[in-house]
Amino acid sequence: ARVAATDATYDALARPAMRRGEFRFVETLYAAKATDRGGGVGPDSLAILLDSYANGQPPQPDKAEGAFRYELEISAEKGLP
């Protein structure tokens, strides 16, 4: 039987990569999470993604802004504050 990944599972996998600035891995992981959830990754995962962009070499401020704006849009569509 296959057990579905939870938000905590995705975040636990992403944290080590975030610390190393491996934003491409975190992006790929959270793209799968967004697909599983039906859009968006949630606030805790967004924070991890933004930290991975900040820790990247070089840092990725444009990607961070894009991810933040996308999550705001998803939240508005879902009627979340």
Report pLDDT for 47.
97
Report pLDDT for 39.
84
Sorting pLDDT into bands at 50, 70 and 90, what band is 46?
A: very high
* pTM score over 0.85: yes
Of 64 and 80, the structure prediction assigns the larger pLDDT to 64
Provide CB contacts within 8 A for 50, sequence distance 6+.
64, 67, 68
Report pLDDT for 38.
83
Q: Write the DSSP assignment of 24-58 as a string of letters.
A: HHHHHHHHHHHHHHTS---HHHHHHHHHHHHHSSS
